[in-house]
Amino acid sequence: MTTTTSTRKRILTGDRPTGRLHLGHYVGSLRDRVALQYDHDTFIIVADVQALTTNFDRPEGLARDVRQVTLDNLAVGIDPDICTLFVQSLVPAIAELAVLYSMLVTVNVLRHNPTIKTEAAQRGYRDLTYGFLGYPVSQAADITFCRAHLVPVGDDQMPHIELTRKIVRRFNDLYPLPRTGAPVFPVPEGRVGRVGRLVGLDGQAKMSKSLDNCIYLDDTPAEVARKVRRAVTDPARIHASDPGHPEVCTVFAYHQAVNEGFIPELEELCRAGRIGCVACKERLTRAINDLLAPMHERRAPYLARPARIDEVLAEGTRRARAEGEETLGLVREAMRIGYFSLAHAPVPSARVSLDAPAFAHSFVP
């Protein structure tokens, strides 16, 4: 017998729409969510409000990037018939939960969040906006609005999952449901895949758009070949016959991420100086292009009919809004802030039309 939606565990994961997704996103998170979608009820958030925490001064790019990130998810093999892809800002319950959770988190805890610190330093922020400092609280609302059990992410996200777990425990503790005393939320678990993080082409700690050291999931085979050719390798290696040090080599790290089967042999060849960097890079280019080829194929029909991307988002967002309303109902009940029945009152947010054609589209990838 197949498992039904109600008994399957729930996943919530997603991305900030700040541009095209890259190989680091793929090996860190997308690959796992594709594998997990078949036996989990999977929600994928396009976190546009979170993108605004750093891009509030250029919101005009969001409409394109929301669709770009959705398309990247579809291209890697997320199946819109079994997953719920949705837009964060169109699910009002997420914003409402974030406000309620903000009471349960101190400013000091947020200031010590290592991911916030790294991002702030990378961007040269001297003072932090309330929204940027608080985005991990909003992310706790992303994860819990659908009462998710599992959050597959790259390792940089683990501090946010830890915070979410703290908020959930505190919430459940303070506000058990009346009568039964049951907790509203499961305590969600983070899950980092086999490769939690991918170094940049330049050997920097992380592949990142702002560091301009990425291979994008929609790069052409020629672009991949060109980028891999200039990737940083072991600096101690001058001649192809010099013994190599795979542990310091970017190209080796990429082989580990996308060409696992070749690793034992490659490690031996490299250390013995029996494979040169040029040949090793050619092997890597082939492996990456083999990985990206089916993604290009899955992307093509959406590029031919971009309105289909909006349809996927509109349908997913509709379901996410219903889920959010249900969770918020339980939250109000548990917090004793329901006060009176609103069963017949109009939900103000219902005024946002989610009819796909009205969901303005001008998608130019």
Query: Could you say which DSSP state residue 22 is in?
Result: B
By CB under 6 A, is residue 45 in contact with ligand TRP? yes
Q: Which residues contact 191 (CB under 8 A, 6 or more apart)?
A: 32, 150, 151, 152, 153
**Helix H segments across the chain?**
23-25, 31-36, 48-55, 62-76, 92-102, 107-111, 114-122, 130-133, 135-144, 158-174, 221-229, 250-258, 263-271, 277-304, 307-334
Q: Please, what is the minimum distance in Å from the beta carbon of residue 50 to ligand TRP? A: 5
Residue closer to ligand TRP, measured from CB, 112 or 226: 112
Q: Which residues contact 24 (CB under 8 A, 6 or more apart)?
A: 154, 197, 198, 200, 206, 207, 208, 214
CB-CB contact of 48 with 138 (8 Å): no
By CB under 6 A, is residue 167 in contact with ligand TRP? no
Binding segment toward ligand TRP, per CB under 6 A, in 150-158, 274-282, 309-317, 339-347: 150-158
Residue closer to ligand TRP, measured from CB, 156 or 218: 156
Residue 241 phi, psi (nearest 5):
-90, -5
By CB under 6 A, is residue 144 in contact with ligand TRP? no
Residue closer to ligand TRP, measured from CB, 50 or 259: 50
Give the Cα separation of 171 and 183 in Å (integer): 8
What spatial distance separates the first Cα and last Cα of the chain, rounded to whole Å? Answer: 42
Binding segment toward ligand TRP, per CB under 6 A, in 30-38, 45-53, 64-72, 98-106: 45-53
Maximum CA extent, the chain = 78
Which residues in the 188-227 window bind ligand TRP by CB under 6 A? Answer: none
Binding segment toward ligand TRP, per CB under 6 A, in 93-101, 137-145, 237-245, 330-338: 137-145
Residue closer to ligand TRP, measured from CB, 11 or 228: 11
Residue 145 CB-density burial (10 A; 0-12 exposed, 13-18 middle, 19+ buried): buried
Binding segment toward ligand TRP, per CB under 6 A, in 136-144, 266-274, 332-340, 342-350: 136-144
Q: In one letter, which amino acid is 251?
A: V
Question: Given the DSSP bridges, would you call strands 41-46 and 10-15 parallel, antiparallel or unpaired?
Answer: parallel
By CB under 6 A, is residue 157 in contact with ligand TRP? yes
By CB under 6 A, is residue 151 in contact with ligand TRP? yes
- The correct pick among 10, 11, 13, 183 for binding ligand TRP (CB under 6 A) is 13
- The correct pick among 23, 34, 36, 47 for binding ligand TRP (CB under 6 A) is 47
What size, in residues, is the chain? 365
Q: Please, what is the minimum distance in Å from the beta carbon of residue 157 to ligand TRP? A: 6
Q: Please, what is the minimum distance in Å from the beta carbon of residue 54 to ligand TRP? A: 10
- Residues in touch with ligand TRP (CB under 6 A): 12-16, 45, 47, 50, 139, 142-143, 151, 153, 157
